[in-house]
Amino acid sequence: MLASFDTHIFWEALTSRPYWHGALLALELTLVSLAAACVIGFFLALGRSSRFRSVRGFVFFYSWIFRATPTLLQLLFIWNGLPQIWSTFASDWFKPFLAAFIALSLNEAAYMSEIIRAGLLSVDPGQELAARALGMTRPRILRRVIVPQAIRIVIPPTGNEFITLLKLTSLAYVISLHELLTASEVRGAADFHYAEAYSAAVIYYLVIVSVLMVIQAQLERRFTWSSAGRRRRVPVVSVAHDAR
């Protein structure tokens, strides 16, 4: 059976510097892209229910563009195409990491906006009415009443998005970002021990996702508002779904 799986090579790859760095890079890229996507997505979500037609139109157009085209195409477009259209980007500071960050956060924002919108809508409008009756202004109502409750709803699907995004960072391989997949590809090609090289990468992805699941469960408990709920265990719901 395991005809030629060399555990020594596997272990050596697992503990090597490029893997460690690649994993860290993938994780960093995921975190900053997801954070940016949450911010952009929040405003897109608000824009969806704007009273201005042009704003609603823009949001529709945005999510249409970013959801209807392959992420890989977007990534290549930003990396290769953008500097041609806009000369500001045709210079040294425009690094693969930045390009990947821009592409992934813009792409992810389209998905996050839907998730955040569902979260905002899940808060009973009666609470907003009561807050208005108290004399609270709209930004304060959002900050104190609606957003904290929306977060509870938004956490589980955002966990899924984290996983999806983590895997999408491997696409940045094509724009020569030295993330985890690149590390395993290089390692495998060095002496053709692909099975060992890829397996080591698998371990890293699994570890990152497992840590996330633990953090997610804790966050969910943090955003449950009953004295009992803080003790209750919240089941971990994280099955990544679509292959973008």
Partner 1 sequence: MNDVVLRAEGVHKSYDGLDVLRGVSIDVGRGEVKVIIGPSGSGKSTLLRCLALLEPVDSGSVYLESERLSDLREKQLAAHRSEVGMVFQRFNLFQNMTALGNVMCGLVEVRGLKRREARERAREFLARVGLADKADNYPEELSGGQQQRVAIARALVMRPKAMLFDEPTSALDVELVREVLDVMEGLARDGMTMIVVSHELRFAHHVASSILMMDEGQVIEEAPPDRFFSAPSHERTKRFLALVE
Site of interaction with partner 1 (CB under 8 A)? 124, 126-127, 129-137, 140, 144-145, 148-149, 225-228
Could you tell me the sign of the dihedral formed by the alpha carbons of 116, 118, 121, 124, in that order?
A: negative
Q: Give whichever of 93 and 125 is closer to partner 1, judged by the CB atom.
A: 125
Asked if 70 and 58 count as a contact pair (C-beta separation under 8 A), the reply is no
For 83, other C-beta atoms within 10 Å of its C-beta total: 15
Least separation in angstroms between CB 218 and partner 1: 17
Give the shortest CB-121-to-partner 1 separation in angstroms: 15
Complex with partner 1: residue 15 or 137, whichever CB lies closer: 137
Gap between the Cα atoms of 20 and 26, Å rounded: 10
For 34-59, give the DSSP string: HHHHHHHHHHHHHHHT-S-HHHHHHH
CB of 228 to partner 1, least distance (A): 7
User: Based on CB atoms, which residue is closest to partner 1, 128 or 185?
Assistant: 128
Of 95 and 143, the one with the shorter C-beta distance to partner 1 is: 143
Q: Closer CB to partner 1, residue 69 or residue 127? A: 127
Do 197 and 18 form a contact (C-beta atoms < 8 A)?
no
Alpha-carbon distance of 45 to 32, in angstroms, equals 20
**Angstrom distances, CA of residue 2 to CA of 13, 195, 220:** 18, 11, 42
Shortest separation between residue 71's beta carbon and partner 1, angstroms: 35
Nearest approach in angstroms of CB 134 to partner 1 is 4
